[in-house]
């Protein structure tokens, strides 16, 4: 739990249908959320202060700091008036691996190549999900996005946050997480899933944002072979999904959508019964 709330109410002056009125609006909060391992700060993200333990676990997974939730011994949020510091304690092997990684990332200032580790991380290889035995129908695509939209509680209040959901054919949408940041929402979803014992190969990741390469990387690390979005993909996201064996579906609008990679996982199926 955190004393920070995910939303707040602010005064506004609105013009609607030619009329001006004073009122209030609910908006999402955005606070610094730091991830510290062994007492040392690793990264600070601006995010929505909700589901922050899921965020800590999911970030640790998608950043390659852990490979499973059992490698985290404890998570303690430390708060002040400015933000939240997630103090994460790793088990010995994972803590040792992170210390080695930090030493390799340290380099001389001004060398001209100091960013090489960050560049390699940005274009890192992603896990191969081509062998995942999952097929979905046209109806599954439409249903996953429709259910995700319906389940976005924070977005219904604010109209200002992204959502990420996990959909299993024949079961439906089993988890949803939201955040002002699209990457954060997906990290929170990854954390929620591995904490609950679900595995990425079981289902489909659906998001309300555009598909950048980072979204493909995170979904592949989770182990999901299908990534669906309501917006468009980037060229690098398409190339990365193609190489990873991931099915990329985007621009889902009602019954319409576009398939960019590995369409063999998608079978014709009824859309009429989705609503």
Residues with a catalytic annotation lie at 111
Q: Identify the CA nearest to 175 among candidates 154, 142, 152.
A: 152
Q: What angle do CA 113, 115, 118 make, to 5 degrees?
A: 140
Q: Is the dihedral of CA 123, 44, 88, 185 positive or negative?
A: negative
CA dihedral (2, 157, 35, 224) positive or negative: positive
Q: What's the start-to-end Cα distance of the chain, in Å?
A: 36
Burial 225-235 (b: 16+ CB within 10 A, else e): bbbbbbeebee
């Amino acid at each position: 739990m955190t004393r920070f709330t995910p939303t707040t109410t602010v005064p506004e002056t609105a013009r609607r249908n030619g009329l001006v009125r004073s009122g209030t609006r609910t908006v999402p909060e955005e606070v610094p959320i730091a991830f510290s391992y062994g007492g040392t700060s690793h990264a600070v993200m601006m995010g929505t202060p909700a589901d922050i333990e899921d965020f800590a676990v999911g970030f640790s997974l998608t950043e390659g700091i852990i490979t499973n939730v059992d490698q985290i011994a404890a998570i303690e949020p430390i708060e002040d008036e400015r933000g939240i510091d997630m103090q994460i304690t790793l088990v010995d092997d994972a803590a040792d691996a992170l210390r080695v990684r930090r030493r390799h990332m340290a380099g001389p200032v001004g060398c001209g190549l100091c960013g090489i580790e960050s560049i390699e991380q940005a274009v890192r290889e992603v896990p191969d999900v081509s062998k995942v035995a999952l097929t979905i129908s046209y109806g599954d695509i439409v249903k996953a996005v429709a259910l995700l939209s319906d389940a976005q509680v924070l977005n219904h209040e604010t109209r200002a946050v992204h959502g990420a959901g996990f959909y299993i054919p024949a079961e439906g949408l089993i988890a949803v997480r939201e955040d002002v940041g699209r990457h954060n929402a997906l990290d929170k979803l990854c954390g929620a899933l591995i904490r609950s014992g679900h595995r990425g190969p079981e289902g489909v990741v659906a998001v309300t944002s555009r598909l950048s390469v980072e979204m493909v990387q995170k979904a592949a690390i989770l182990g999901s072979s299908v990534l669906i979005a309501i917006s468009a993909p980037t060229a690098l996201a398409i190339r990365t999904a193609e190489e990873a064996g991931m099915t990329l579906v985007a621009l889902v609008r009602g019954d319409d959508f576009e398939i960019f990679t590995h369409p063999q996982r998608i079978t014709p199926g009824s859309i009429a019964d989705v609503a």
